[in-house]
């Protein structure tokens, strides 16, 4: 659908979501869905004794700013990867072999188009961890980001170092998982690793 209305809307939404900082989109979502429409709770802290689904319901609004920012960037990356994969020789060969459009997209285009997207997703997890500090402070959640923020305010350096170390560990693990998923999708990387 390159160049059509759906494509232009995806690009516009991707750019719009990608450039708005977490605290701005968090405040806007809080105003619209929490205060004006009253669809979601304005705090991220579930009441004591709340079950799994109730706790998840309280985390929808705090998670949206982080997800929207990342989703906009990933939508643009996936779009660029799909356009590049559709123009490649192996896609033309698959079409000439008589494979139907769905099979060409699922077996040939998407695995190759998602490789750079997964790399970006793995590295953007560090950005999301940085956004946790602002989002947890905005929604009153007692989590890792709020712990790091309070440790910095009170000059509790051992706690600050421990929080940053946990965030760094999460970042390294997500990057490693991203590399493993890339190796599963791209056989060229598996061959390169075995040499």
List the one residue out of 177, 122, 171, 124 whose CA is nearest residue 144: 171
Per-residue pLDDT of the chain (195 residues; tens, 9 = 90+): 676 787 788 778 777 777 888 888 888 888 888 888 888 888 877 788 888 888 888 888 888 888 887 887 787 788 888 888 888 888 888 888 888 888 888 887 887 788 778 878 887 877 777 777 888 888 888 888 888 888 989 998 999 899 889 988 988 888 888 888 877 876 666 666 555
pTM: 0.68
Collect all residues with Cβ–Cβ distance below 8 Å to 171 and sequence separation of at least 6.
125, 126, 129
End-to-end Cα distance, the chain: 39
Domain of residue 82, residue span = 5-194
Please give the tally of structural domains in the chain: 1
- The Cα diameter of the chain in Å comes to 66
Looking up residue 117, the CATH number of its domain turns out to be 1.10.3720
List the one residue out of 73, 76, 71, 82 whose CA is nearest residue 114: 82
């Amino acid at each position: 659908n390159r160049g059509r209305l759906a494509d232009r809307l995806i690009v516009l939404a991707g750019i719009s979501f990608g450039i708005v900082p977490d605290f701005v989109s968090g405040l806007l979502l809080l105003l619209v869905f929490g205060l004006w429409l009253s669809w979601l709770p304005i705090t991220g802290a579930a009441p004591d004794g709340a079950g799994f689904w109730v706790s998840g319901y309280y985390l929808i609004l705090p998670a949206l700013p982080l997800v929207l920012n990342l989703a906009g960037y990933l939508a643009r990356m996936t779009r660029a990867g799909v356009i590049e994969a559709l123009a490649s020789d192996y896609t033309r060969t698959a079409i000439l072999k008589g494979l139907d459009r769905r099979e060409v997209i699922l077996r040939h285009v998407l695995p190759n188009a998602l490789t750079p997207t997964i790399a970006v997703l793995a590295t953007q997890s560090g950005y999301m961890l940085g956004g946790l500090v602002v989002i947890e402070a905005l929604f009153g959640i007692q989590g890792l980001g709020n712990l790091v923020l309070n440790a910095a305010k009170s000059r509790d350096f051992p706690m600050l170092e421990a929080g940053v170390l946990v965030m760094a560990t999460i970042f390294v693990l997500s990057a490693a998982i991203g590399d493993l998923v890339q190796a599963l999708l791209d056989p060229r990387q598996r061959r390169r690793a075995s040499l």
